[in-house]
Amino acid sequence: MAMIRLETPTGLEMSVGEAMFTQRAIRRLDPNRAVSDHHIKLILDAGSKAPNGGNAQPARYLVIQDKEKIKSFGALYHEAWWAKRRDAYGWKGREDMPEGSPYRMAAQLADEMVNAPLVILAFSTGGRFEAMSVLPGIQNMLLAARALGIGSVLTTLHPEVMDRVYALFDVPQQMTFHHCLPFGYPRGRFGPTSRLPTAQTTFWETWGQVPPWAE
Ligand X SMILES: Cc1cc2nc3c(=O)[nH]c(=O)nc-3n(C[C@H](O)[C@H](O)[C@H](O)COP(=O)(O)O)c2cc1C
* Near ligand X in 53-112, by CB under 6 A: 106, 109
Letters for 6-35 (x = contact with ligand X by CB under 6 A, - = none) are ------------------xx-x--------
Q: Which is nearer to ligand X, 100 or 172 (CB)?
A: 100
What is the torsional sign of CA 50, 69, 160, 25?
positive
158 contacts ligand X (rule: CB under 6 A): no
Q: How many CA atoms lie within 13 A of 110 on its CB side?
A: 20
- Asked if residue 176 lies in contact with residue 159, where contact means CB atoms within 8 angstroms, the answer is no
| Alpha-helix residue ranges (DSSP H) falling in the chain | 16-22, 37-48, 67-89, 104-112, 130-147, 159-168, 198-201
37, 51, 149, 193: residue in contact with ligand X (rule CB under 6 A): 193
Distances (CA, A) of 134 to 41, 49, 184: 17, 11, 21
* Closest distance of CB 116 from ligand X, Å: 12
156 binds ligand X (CB under 6 A): yes
Which of 104, 118, 124, 128 shows the shortest CA–CA distance to 171?
124
CB 52 within 8 A of CB 59: yes
Q: Compare residues 52 and 152 and give the one whose CB is closer to ligand X.
A: 152
**Least CB distance from residue 204 to ligand X, whole Å?**
26
Mark the segment that binds ligand X (CB under 6 A) among 111-119, 150-158, 159-167, 169-177.
Answer: 150-158
Which of 14, 20, 34, 154 binds ligand X (CB under 6 A)? It is 154
Residue ranges in contact with ligand X by CB under 6 A = 24-25, 27, 106, 109, 153-156, 193
